Each structure stands twice: as structure tokens, then as C-alpha cells.
Amino acid sequence: MVYVLEAVPNFSEGRDQELVEALAQAGRSVPGVTLLDYSADVDHNRSVFSLLGEPASLIKALLAMTGLAIEAIDMNQHQGEHPRMGALDVCPFVPLSQGQMDLACRTARVLAERLAGDFDLPVMLYGEAASRPSHRRVADIRRGEYEGLEEKLAGPDWPVDYGPQAPHPSAGMAAVGARPAMVAFNVNLATQRLEIAQAIAKKVRGSSGGLPACQALGMRLADRDLVQVSMNILDLDSLPLYRILEMVRMEAARYGVPVLETELIGLAPAQALYDAASYYLQLAGFDPKDQVLEEKLRQGLIN
Amino acid sequence: MVYVLEAVPNFSEGRDQELVEALAQAGRSVPGVTLLDYSADVDHNRSVFSLLGEPASLIKALLAMTGLAIEAIDMNQHQGEHPRMGALDVCPFVPLSQGQMDLACRTARVLAERLAGDFDLPVMLYGEAASRPSHRRVADIRRGEYEGLEEKLAGPDWPVDYGPQAPHPSAGMAAVGARPAMVAFNVNLATQRLEIAQAIAKKVRGSSGGLPACQALGMRLADRDLVQVSMNILDLDSLPLYRILEMVRMEAARYGVPVLETELIGLAPAQALYDAASYYLQLAGFDPKDQVLEEKLRQGLIN
């Protein structure tokens, strides 16, 4: 087994490029940690990092990064379009192999405990690691943002999981959790009619009666004279890419609109591509662990 | 870059299980070599091994295995259904990443030279490593088999690339080469009419005017009441799985026969699955190196 997780810490700094680079360096300089990707958004004033490694190495890297962030960021001065409540705003752990969600949850609890102990930071667990159903969604935990945190934590409805039951004076609060691998998947339609993309988005997304693992919006790509169904797939095991694409295609057919192309944004696990290949190629009894050279190789090298 | 190749040595022994196990052990006990798979066929009296590793480790393993084989196998006594000419009959190197065919050819030449030097064995290079066009196909090099080898090598048309211009007295000759990854891909049709599978095989295979990278036969799967187009895809870069499947589907449609399912036999490179996913999902600008988590991880760990 490969005990490797992805961690995706979000920090409330997207303008000070020097600090963003320092955060990246603090993450990648821990042995056993690979910094896959990072980006900072000036409007959001927020940066997002993708780190890979075993739990112990990841925790070491995340503590070093959070230390820097807490030192440099004052949430009382922070402005940005994206909702936020802390210097380390949110950090999910994502399992890279099937059956490792438990490991991701355990790792989230260990990080949360260390953040509370090392920085006196209040931490709520969320997602699959949530300690109660009302804590599952970051959006609920974060509602009211940094400015509303003191009042929120003073009430009875939002007990923290680790640390003090009050905001850190400059770093607010962090949400640490575990979630399945998520991908952004966009379907571009060969039409300029925005209402078609919006109608399809409404039919396929979970919030309006569609597929629970799908978030979707219809939008116009002005520079390309076409419209897009822009989606987040929250759980590729329950909603493979081929199924959501074929569902969009089916709904688009009612308007006589063809699918022009699709886009996968960011990183997807290989399994997402294997699932699509296996479905469309009609492969019987296909198991990547036994039939993909690189998967066999990986087992051979690591076992 | 990952300088890992696959080597697929074929030895002329498929009945002495003890020797087959000893060959496997000689291969896998070399550090840095992974024995992915091996199988022995009693009717063919032949065994095939799939090894992964860097060139130097692979060569060490292949020399150890060949030493055992030459000691134990007397081609003068060998009987079996499969055509053969030597104790180590054939050994291709297969690149696992794009752009490494040169490395596979160089490795083939190094192995050939060592086989000639260590065992006084005549060796012909074939496939992409062939030193002349007439040597490209193993079937041509092997025509006449072990029994015809002395006469063949005495004539002017078959110069060996390394070693003596005459058969080894008990181990015959070896063909060492390089070829692209090859996969066996079968398409099962929802009909019992063998002539339909045969007609489709004839249309898609290179030898009768179809796709050059495709070998195909129509056959009956008696225990399942259906027929199969059984194929070898010799070069997945020039002939991706989706294209051959859609071509079979198109030809089957003329008979009103649907594709029931397909089978991938043995190991395929991940790229073959990525290509199929990318085609059917209509992914624009998809590059596995940048967008598949495991590919990024592999680069991070090995670079």
C-alpha cells in the first residue's frame, strides 16, 4: 500500500508574492513532501497549495507553513473577495487510493490537535472528518467569516474540536478535514445561448435535484462565443466523468446542441481516466492494478 | 525522466517447471529488477517473462537467466508447437515512456554484445534495433527454425550482428530487439456467426489492407456462444485502442451486430487508457504529465 495523501491548505494571502513563495518553500523543503502545484489570487487575496506525501511529512510541512502564515497575516486587516475566517483558512486531506479515507480523517485529527497545541488556534474538523453533521460543510463553518467568528464561537452551536472556544486574535480559526478527490470538469457547448448552459447546469447539479456529487453553473465564455457548463465533481467514485458528460450531452440534445469539447482543470487521479476508458472501451473485467504497466510497477517498487 | 524499460525474454522451455522457476528467480533476484509476470506453455514448450528495470539491471538479470537456460536447454532435443531457434529465443526491449525507443535500441545492442561475449552465442538484432530492413521481423529471422539454422547462417543473406556466424551447438541463436509496447485487445460480438468476426478481422488488419499496426483473427468462443475479433495492436501510438474499437464497431454495424464487450489481455501502458479517456471525454488540451496526480507524483519522486 502507498500511504500517500494530498493536502490542500488555503492561506489568506494572495497579494504578498514574497510570503506566498516563502510558504511554498516551507512546504517543499520538508523531506518526503512534493509541492505539486500552488497559485495565488490577488482578487481573492488567497493562496492554495497542493502537497503530496506521507501523513507525518505532510503534517511537518503544514505546521511550518502555518507558523509562517500566523506570523505574517493579520486577519483584522485582511480584505478579499473569497469568504475566509483564518490565516490558515482551510486544509483538506485527500486520499489518493481507494480505502484510505480513514487515513485522511486520522491525519486531519492529528494536524488539528497540533495546530491547537502549537499555535493556540481553534480548529473545527469538517468533511469526512467532521465530528457532527452540522460541521460537514466548510461554507457552514465559515458563514459570518472572520468578522463574525467571535460571536459565533461564543454561542452554543459551534463547538470547536481542538483549541480554545474563541478566535485567535490575528489568525482567526482553521477548518481541517478530509474529502474525496474532487475535480473541476467543464463541458463547452457549441452555442452562444447562455440559458441553455444554465438550464443544463440546473438539471445535473445536486442542489436542484440532480446528481449529489455535482456542483454546476452555466456561464458564457465571452472570448470564444460559446457557453459552458462549469462543474465541480465532488466524488469521482460515485460520479465518474463519463456519466456526468453523457448526462450533459443527453440534456443538450433536446436543444440540438452538440458538446464541442470538455476541460479537466487541475489534477485528476489516474482512476478517473481509467474509469472513462473502461466504460467507453466496454472493457470487461478490467482492473488497473493488474493490467496497467505503471500500476504494477508502482506496486513492485513500493511493496 | 524515468529510464525504465520492459524486457520480455522468451526461453525454449515450458515443461520443466523447476527450470522455469529458477529462471524467474534469477531475474527477480537482481536488485532494481521487478518481475512483473511470467508464464510457461506446455504445448509450445516455451516460457515468457516480463521484467521491468533500468537498462543495466535488466541486462544483469537477462545474462543470469540466459546462463541458466544455456546450461539446461539442448535445442537438439527441443520439441514444441511454437517456432523457435534458440534457448533464449527472442528478447525485445519495450520503452515505457514516449521518446525512449533509442534507449531500448541501445540496450538491445549492449545485451546482444554481452550474450555474444559471455556465451559465444550468435545474435541478430531485430525490430526497431534491426541493422538492416530484412532483419526487422522475428518471423523472418526464425524461418527454418533451429533445425535450419546451420544452413541459413552459412549463406550470405543472414549475417549475425554479434558473435560467431554459426549456431551455438546446443543453444542455437538469439534475436534481441526493441519494439513499441504491444497489447492484445479482443472485441466480442453479440453473434454466433464466425464468418462475421472473420470478415471484420480481414478488414481491420494490416496484412490485408487495413491498419498496419493491427494483427487480427476471427474466432469462435465456443463456451460463450459468441465470436471474437482477436487482435494484437503492435503500436499504440499509431493505433490507439479507441480507433480500432470504433472501426470494428463500424464494420459490425453493417451486419446489425453490436459490440458486446472488449478484453485487454496482459499489461497495457497507462497512456493507452489516457488516450481512450481523452478521446471519448472530448478533453481539450489534456496532458497526463500535467493533469494526472500519479504522473505528477512519479515525476516528483524520481526527478
Q: Write the pLDDT tens digit of every residue in A160-215.
A: 999 999 999 999 999 999 998 888 899 999 999 999 999 999 999 998 999 999 99
**Which chain A residue is nearest to residue B182, measuring alpha carbons?**
A293
Nearest by CB to residue A264, choosing from B266, B280, B286, is: B286
- What digits encode the pLDDT tens for the residues A225-263? 899 999 999 888 889 999 999 999 999 999 999 999 999
- The reply to whether ipTM tops 0.90 is no
**A267 and B301 in contact by Cβ < 8 A?**
no
What is the H or E stretch that residue B28 is in?
A: helix B17-28
Q: List the 9-28 stretch of B: residues with Cβ below 8 A of A.
A: none
pLDDT digits (tens, 9 = 90+) for B73-109: 999 999 988 889 999 999 999 988 778 899 999 999 9
Closest residue to A281, CB basis, from B245, B286, B298: B245
pLDDT of residue B300: 58
Q: Which residues pair with A170 in a beta bridge?
A: none
pLDDT the model gives residue A303: 31
The boundaries of every CATH 3.30.990.10 domain in chain A are 5-178
Segment 43-72 of chain A within 8 Å of chain B by CB = 52
Among A residues 104-163, those touching chain B with beta carbons less than 8 Å apart: none
B168 is catalytic: no
Element (H, E) at A188: strand A183-189
Asked if residues A186 and A220 have their Cβ atoms less than 8 Å apart, the reply is: no
Cell of A130: 467532521
Sequence-ordered list of residues with C-beta below 8 angstroms from that of B289, at least 6 positions apart, any chain: B295, B296, B299
Q: Which of B34, B272, B300 sits opposite A300 (nearest CB)?
A: B34
What CATH class does B183-268 carry? alpha beta
A6 vs B contacts (CB less than 8 Å): 293
Q: In whole angstroms, what is the distance from residue B88 CA to residue B12 CA?
A: 6
pLDDT of amino acid B171 = 98
- In percent, the amount of chain B with pLDDT more than 90 equals 78
Cell numbers for A267, please give them.
489534477
Q: What is the third-level CATH fold of B5-178?
A: Formiminotransferase-cyclodeaminase; Chain B, domain 1 (3.30.990)
pTM: 0.71
Compute the distance between CA of residue B102 and CA of residue B95 in angstroms, rounded to an integer: 9
Interface test with chain B among A281, A283, A301, by most B beta carbons within 10 Å: A281
Question: Chain A partners of B300 at a C-beta cutoff of 8 Å?
Answer: 34, 36, 52
Q: How far apart are the CA of A64 and the nearest CA of chain B, in angstroms? A: 20
Specify the pLDDT at position B21.
97
Q: Which residues contact A26 (CB under 8 A, 6 or more apart)?
A: A61, A64, A65, A67, A68
> Hey, what long-range contacts does A131-138 have (CB within 8 A, 24 or more apart)?
A131/A161, A135/A161, A138/A90, A138/A175, A138/A177
Torsion A51-A56-A57-A59 (CA) sign = positive
Q: Does A169 touch chain B (CB under 8 A)?
A: no
Residue B157 has pLDDT above 50, yes or no: yes
Query: Which one from B44, B78, B82, B168 is the annotated catalytic residue?
Result: B82
The residue type found at B90 is: V
Helix (H) or strand (E) holding A104: helix A101-119
Residue B220, all three cell numbers: 469462435
Among the partner-chain residues A4, A282, A300, the one whose CB lies closest to the CB of B261 is: A282
From the candidates A293, A301, A302, which should be mutated to test the interface with B, based on the most B CB atoms within 10 A? A293
Interface test with chain A among B2, B281, B302, by most A beta carbons within 10 Å: B281
Averaged pLDDT, B241-252:
97
